[in-house]
Chain A
Amino acid sequence: MTVGGPAIGARSEQTIEAIQGENKVAPARKVSGGKVISWVVFILAMLYFFIPLVATFEFSLRAKPFGAAYANTFKDPQFFGSLFYSFVIGVITIVTSTALIVPTAYWVRLRLPRLRPVVEFVTLMPFVIPAVVLAFGLIRSFATGPVPLAASQRGSDVLLVAAYTILSLPYMYRAADTGLRTIDVKSLTEAGQSLGAGTFRILWSIILPNLRVAILSGAFLTLAIVIGEFTLANYLARPAFGPYLNHLGGNKSYEPAAVALISFGLTWAAMGVIALIGRSARGRSRTVEVGGAH
C-alpha cells in the first residue's frame, strides 16, 4: 500500500510537469538546497571537532628537537605507571560490575520481576549523583568510623573501584538487561537444570557466554571512562592517568599535548572496539554509548 500511493502521486506530478514542461528546475533546486545546507553543517562541525585535535598535534610538535614531546612522554615512568594503574583499576571495575550486575539482572528477570523497577531505579541513580558529589560522600563517610577506607592507600583503591562500579551501573545494567531480552532465559535455565547444573554453573556456562557481546561493549565503555576519569581519582589521591595529565599540564609545556592526543587515541580505540563488537553482534539493536566522566 505504501508503494501504491506515492507512485500515483509521483506519476501525476510527472504528467503535469510533462504538460507544463518547465517546472523541472524548481524541485531539483530544492533538493540540492537541502543537500548544500547539510554539507555546510557537516563541514563546520568537522572543523569544530578536528581543529582542536590538529592544534594539539601541532603544539606537541613545537618541542625541539623534533618529536621530543613524545620521546619525553615515553621516557617518563609516571606515564606508563599511571596508565597501567588506571587500566588495572578499570579491569577490576569491569569484573566487579559484571559479577554484581549479571546475576542480579538474571535473577530479576527469572524470579523477581516485581523487583525490576526498584533495581532499575537504583542503577539509574548514578545519573543523578555527579562524580564530585559521590567523591564527597565516600570520602566523608569512610574517613573515620568502623571502616576507615579513605585513610589508607589500599582502602582508597577499594573506594575508587567501588565508585567506578557505581558509575558503571547504568550502562552495565542496561547492557545486561538488553542482552537477556534477546535470549530465552527460562528455557536455558530449565535446560541447564535438567542437566544437573546449579545456579552458579548456569550463570557461568550458559548466561554469561550468551551475554558476552552485550557485556563487552559495556565493559569497554567502562574502561574508556575509567582511564580518562579525573574527579574521583583526584580527590581520592590515587596515582591515576587523569591526575597525572592534570599535573603534567601544570608543569610541562609540550608533553601535555602529546599525552592529550594519546588519551584521545585510547578513547578512539575503545570506541572502535565497541563498534566492532556491535557490528559482529546478531541483530541490529542500537545502543547509545554515553559515559559520564566530564
Chain B
Amino acid sequence: MPVGSIPSTAAGDGLTPREPGAPSVRPARRRFDWSFLGVVPFFLFAFVFMIFPIGYLIAGSFKDSNNNDAFTLQNYADLGTAQVGRAFANSIEISLVTAIAGAILGLLLAYAIILGGLPNFLRGFVVTFAGVASNFAGIPLALAFIFTIGQLGLLTVWLHNLFGIQLYQSGIFTIYSKLGIEIVYLYFQLPLMVLIIAPALDGLKKEWREASENMGASSRQYWQYVALPILTPSILGCAVLLFGNAFGAQATAYQLTGGQVPIVTLLIGAQISGDVLHNPGLGYAMAMGMVVIMGLAILAYSILQRRSERWLR
C-alpha cells in the first residue's frame, strides 16, 4: 500500500474525488510495485560478500580436486579422518567445557550482583566491565594470560616463590594446552553469560517469591521448584550461545598455542595460508562442518529463547 494518503475511500472506486495533484485514476490495474528496490542494495551486498563466498565454499566441498572437480561426497566422509576429526573433537570439547563452566560461573556472578544483595553500584560496574571483557579477546587477551601464568608470568613466579610450586618444570600445567585455552576463553565466556542471563534474572517477579514464601516454601524450595524451572530454558539457551562463541573463536588460540593444539578454526586458518590438508575440497567441507554446527547452536538458542519468553517478559 502507498504511504499515508486517504484511508478507505482511496481504494479507487472512480467516484470519490482525488486529492489534487494525485496521479490520474487507473482503478482496474494496479501499477507494478517498485518498492522492493529499496532493499536491493542490502541484499546485493549480503549476496556478494557473504552468500556468494559461502556458496563458493559449499560448491568446493562437493568437488573432487583429484578428479577434475567431479561431484563427490568423499570430502564430508573424510571429515572423520585423523587430523580433521581430532580438530573437531578438540574444538567441541573446548567449547563444551567453557560453555558449561561459563554458564554456571556467569549465572553465579549474575545472581550475586542482581539478587545477592550487593550494593547497587557494583551491579553497574560489573555489567560495564562485562561489556568490556566479553569484547576483550583475541591477541591481547592471550598475551595477558601468557604474562599471568605463562612460563615467566606473575602467578607462575608467585606460586614458585611462595609455595615452591614449579608449574612448568614439573609439567603439571601449561598455558599452551587445552586447559590453558579453556581458562583463557572463560575470560570472555563468563562476562558474556552475565550479560545475556541478567535480563532473565531481572524477569523473576518478586510476587513469585512472595507467593512461595506465603505458602511456606524455603529459599531452597523456591529456587528448586519455581525459579530454576523458569530459568532453565534461558540458561540452556545462553549456554548454547556460549558454545557457539567459543567454537568460532580463532585469534585467541592462534596467539596462545600457535597451532600446537589443533582446533578447527586454526586448521582452517592453516588451510587458507597453504593447503596443509593437501586437499582443497576437504578444507571447504571442514568450513561447512563449522557452519552447520554453528547453525545448529543458533537454532537451539532461538528455540530455547522462545520457550523462556513464556514466563520472562
Binding site for B on A (CB under 8 A): 2, 5-6, 9, 30-31, 34-35, 37-39, 41-42, 45, 48-49, 51-56, 58-59, 100-101, 103-104, 107-108, 110-112, 115, 119, 122, 124-142, 159, 162-163, 165-166, 169, 186, 189-190, 193, 221, 224-225, 228-231, 234-235, 242, 245-246, 249, 256-257, 259-261, 263-264, 267-268, 270-272, 274-275, 286, 288-294
Contact = CB atoms under 8 A, between A and B. Distances in A.
Majority DSSP secondary structure for residues of B touching A: helix
Contact of A58 (B111, B117, B154): B154
Given A42-B112, A112-B35, A130-B248, A267 B136 contact: yes
Contacts, number: 299
Given A42-B116, A52-B144, A107-B35, 15 more contacts: A35-B117, A41-B108, A41-B109, A104-B38, A104-B39, A111-B38, A115-B39, A136-B283, A137-B54, A230-B250, A231-B250, A235-B273, A260-B143, A267-B135, A271-B135
Contact of A275 (B48, B109, B128): B128
Contacts of A42: 109, 112-113, 116, 118, 122, 126
A263 B138 CA distance: 11
Contact of A112 (B39, B128, B206): B39
Given A129-B54, A271-B128, A256 B248 contact: no
A127 B294 contact: yes
A231 B135 contact: no
Closest 9 CB pairs of A and B: A38-B116, A137-B53, A130-B248, A55-B154, A107-B38, A294-B249, A230-B251, A38-B112, A260-B140
Contacts of B251: 229-231, 234, 242, 246, 293-294
B265 interface: yes
B269 A130 contact: no
A289 B131 contact: yes
A267 B132 contact: yes
Given A130-B247, A130-B294, A259-B140, A140 B210 contact: no
B108 A127 contact: no
A128 B306 CA distance: 19
B199 A286 contact: yes
A42 B148 CA distance: 20
Interface in B113-168: 113, 116-118, 122, 126, 128-129, 131-141, 143-148, 152-155
A231 B49 CA distance: 16
Given A100-B42, A166-B50, A139 B272 contact: yes
Contacts of B113: 38, 42
B218 to A, nearest CB: 9
Nearest to A140: B56
B62 interface: no
Given A112-B38, A135-B272, A294 B137 contact: yes
B25 interface: no
B139 A249 contact: yes
Contacts of A224: 135
Interface in B16-70: 35-36, 38-39, 41-43, 45-46, 48-54, 56-57, 60
A135 B271 CA distance: 11
B128 A127 contact: no
B116 A35 contact: yes
Contact of B250 (A100, A132, A245, A264): A132
A241 to B, nearest CB: 9
A33 B185 CA distance: 31
5 contacts: A235-B269, A245-B139, A263-B140, A267-B135, A274-B131
A288 B195 contact: yes
B138 A228 contact: yes
Contacts of A290: 134-135, 192, 195-196
Contacts of A107: 35, 38-39
Given A100-B45, A129-B54, A186 B3 contact: yes
Interface of B: 3-4, 35-36, 38-39, 41-43, 45-46, 48-54, 56-57, 60, 105, 108-109, 111-113, 116-118, 122, 126, 128-129, 131-141, 143-148, 152-155, 185-188, 190-192, 195-196, 199, 206-207, 210-211, 213-214, 219, 244-252, 254-255, 265, 268-269, 271-273, 283, 287, 290-291, 294-295, 298
Given A107-B38, A137-B57, A271 B131 contact: yes
B49 A129 contact: no
A135 B290 CA distance: 13
A284 to B, nearest CB: 11
Given A9-B213, A41-B112, A127-B298, A271 B132 contact: yes
Contacts of A245: 139-140, 143
B311 to A, nearest CB: 18
Contact of A190 (B3, B138, B211): B3
Nearest to B147: A59
Contacts of A35: 116-118
A189 B255 contact: no
A162 B45 CA distance: 8
A42 B287 CA distance: 39
A127 B192 CA distance: 15
B39 A132 contact: no
Given A235-B273, A271-B132, A190 B4 contact: yes
B196 A230 contact: no
Given A242-B138, A249-B143, A264-B140, A104 B41 contact: yes
A136 B282 CA distance: 13
Interface centre among B38, B144, B219 (most CB of A within 10 A): B144
